[in-house]
Structure 1
């Protein structure tokens, strides 16, 4: 009896079927677009671009994380279609949260590493870039994945109903610690990387505008690339993070009607965050001229290949940006080839 009461209190069922029916179709569309896109990108990375030889191991890991997250979307769409915020099945619920936490965290972690690498290449020219050394080693990528695994532990522990108990079930001290840890991980994996990305981007753009000499169009393009990363991150992840904070506030304030609305907004913005799986290849991979050429020559028709490749080389995206270090040395900066 107690189990059923807890489940009702923590309501897996939705309060507005129409909203979640729309969300289910949006998620299904994201899956339909994201699966072939990420599969095609993975194919190019492995069989045509040979990422391990082109210093693109971090990019490859971002795509792997996005692909694994896209693979979870059909289950999400299915439960939304049935009027459920989460799967009532314990194993399915845990598996979905594990995949979301792990792959979102991995995608963000490798993105931060790429941004730090660009930061050292632009702002601290001539100095030792430890990230450049790390990104050449596949073992470092494995270490990052393994480091992220413990962060999913609070989600996997059996201390909450419907995978969503914070502020509801407070039977023991350990349950409160576990639920709090899960929320801390959720907010930290978004806010801390955002601060790092903003810092790196501001310094990079400032350096490009003041210290770099060369083709102004290339400098502007480089600034757009690094700025687009922050914009993408902000659009995909910050809204759901803010909505999560509002949801917790309404729950702790014991305002059930407001909580229902907050839950709908939060789930809707979480669906928005899945767009990251579609935009990552466009923002990161296709800004790499070598990858873009490999993709175009593999999947585009011949008549379109000529036009795209002509545009590619005429725009100069395959060239490097020249900049001068504080020691007076002129170095080439392949900003768009990161």
Structure 2
């Protein structure tokens, strides 16, 4: 039996082998492509942000989004090796206990910070005392710290709770207490996603409302349209990356916790989860474009890089 099998109970005391992850080849190829394509852009982003001043709340959220991306890039090779079926038992356990949890910490951190970025873009146009306070750098740092601490509080027990010493999928490795905490983690993170989605929806709606109200003033219209385009771009990336995954995540969790026992249903839910998780990971490729588009200091730094070679040629 390989580490890529999943056991499910059927009948009274009889166990039936239900292999749900026997079509991982295409997913593995796509994960490898995502890793190769996204790595240079994120490394350049690290360099650019190190050289860019960070004096705005938006920059704080963008930097934290980059940190989440780097965590995902570090954890992704372990998932690729595991999905290839080439992982030894110790690496399989490490993935289930550490790198898989890191992937989900990264994904939900990205959800939170994308929501903050969209909200911040709207607040830039609301010149009230309250909105200016919300955009203070100190407040952005505090809010970012709260997000990371909350995610660690929810996720880290999944790394520490005991597992069974049998070679099966991550959900089957978990003992009962670990499986119950895993289910609780999923529902808590889903609640975080719903709150972030509400912030994205409200901010996007208010941006559109402001755009429509400014039609009579060409100057206001140009500014409002620029903000609306940036919010629409980030919101589209948010919806594409994270909404399909959460549509599938809850029923898949029911299969993991043995509420759903039918093998064919579990296979379909597993493929749905992997397909939508792939969409979630795809944001690694698009986030450097978001950094470039939304951060003026970041753009300035990147443009200096592009100008440097041409200047040296002229010399």
* TM-score after normalising by structure 1: 0.74
Once the two structures are TM-superposed, the CA of residue 102 in structure 1 deviates from its matched residue by 2.0
Which stretch shows the higher mean deviation, 142-151 or 28-37?
Answer: 142-151
- Kindly report the root-mean-square deviation, in angstroms, between the aligned alpha carbons of the 2 structures: 3.4
Preserved contact between residue 34 and residue 277 of structure 1 (Cα < 8 Å): yes
Once the two structures are TM-superposed, the CA of residue 209 in structure 1 deviates from its matched residue by 2.2
> Which structure 2 segments of 5+ residues have no match?
10-15
Are 1:264 and 2:295 matched, yes or no? no
Preserved contact between residue 285 and residue 291 of structure 1 (Cα < 8 Å): yes
Distance 2:222 2:19 in 1: 50
Preserved contact between residue 58 and residue 110 of structure 1 (Cα < 8 Å): yes
- Partner residue, 1:242: 247
| Change over 3 Å in CA distance of 1:179–1:93 after alignment to 2 | closer
Distance 2:225 2:308 in 1: 31
- Partner residue, 2:300: 293
Distance 1:135 1:109 in 2: 17
Distance 2:141 2:189 in 1: 27
Q: How does 1:45-84 map to 2 (within 5 A)?
A: 45-47=49-51, 49-52=52-55, 56-82=59-85
Once the two structures are TM-superposed, the CA of residue 23 in structure 1 deviates from its matched residue by 0.8
Task: For residues 121-172 of structure 1, give each alpha carbon's deviation from its aligned partner in whole angstroms, at most 9, with x where no partner exists.
Answer: 33x422322321245765654444223210213422425554325xx9885x
Once the two structures are TM-superposed, the CA of residue 103 in structure 1 deviates from its matched residue by 1.8
| Change over 3 Å in CA distance of 1:192–1:256 after alignment to 2 | same
- Partner residue, 1:44: 48
- Partner residue, 2:282: 275
Are 1:125 and 2:132 matched, yes or no? no
Which has a greater percent of helix? 2
| Change over 3 Å in CA distance of 1:25–1:7 after alignment to 2 | closer
Are 1:103 and 2:110 matched, yes or no? no
Q: How does 1:1-338 map to 2 (within 5 A)?
A: 8-9=7-8, 15=20, 17=22, 19-47=23-51, 49-52=52-55, 56-82=59-85, 89-122=92-125, 124-129=126-131, 130-135=133-138, 138=141, 141-158=144-161, 162-164=169-171, 174=177, 177-211=180-214, 213=217, 214=219, 216-249=221-254, 251-299=258-306
Partner of 1:196: helix, strand, or coil?
Answer: helix
Preserved contact between residue 163 and residue 175 of structure 2 (Cα < 8 Å): no
| Change over 3 Å in CA distance of 1:111–1:131 after alignment to 2 | farther
Preserved contact between residue 211 and residue 221 of structure 2 (Cα < 8 Å): no
| Change over 3 Å in CA distance of 1:300–1:271 after alignment to 2 | farther
Task: For residues 206-260 of structure 1, give each alpha carbon's deviation from its aligned partner in whole angstroms, at most 9, with x where no partner exists.
Answer: 1132147416454323212101222111110111111222324555232111111
> Which structure 1 segments of 5+ residues have no match?
305-338
Once the two structures are TM-superposed, the CA of residue 291 in structure 1 deviates from its matched residue by 2.0
Distance 2:296 2:6 in 1: 52
Partner of 2:129: helix, strand, or coil?
Answer: coil
Preserved contact between residue 14 and residue 20 of structure 1 (Cα < 8 Å): no
Task: For residues 59-109 of structure 1, give each alpha carbon's deviation from its aligned partner in whole angstroms, at most 9, with x where no partner exists.
Answer: 11111111121121111111112288x987323321113311222222222
Preserved contact between residue 31 and residue 278 of structure 2 (Cα < 8 Å): yes
* TM-score after normalising by structure 2: 0.79
Q: What count of residue pairs does the alignment treat as equivalent?
A: 292
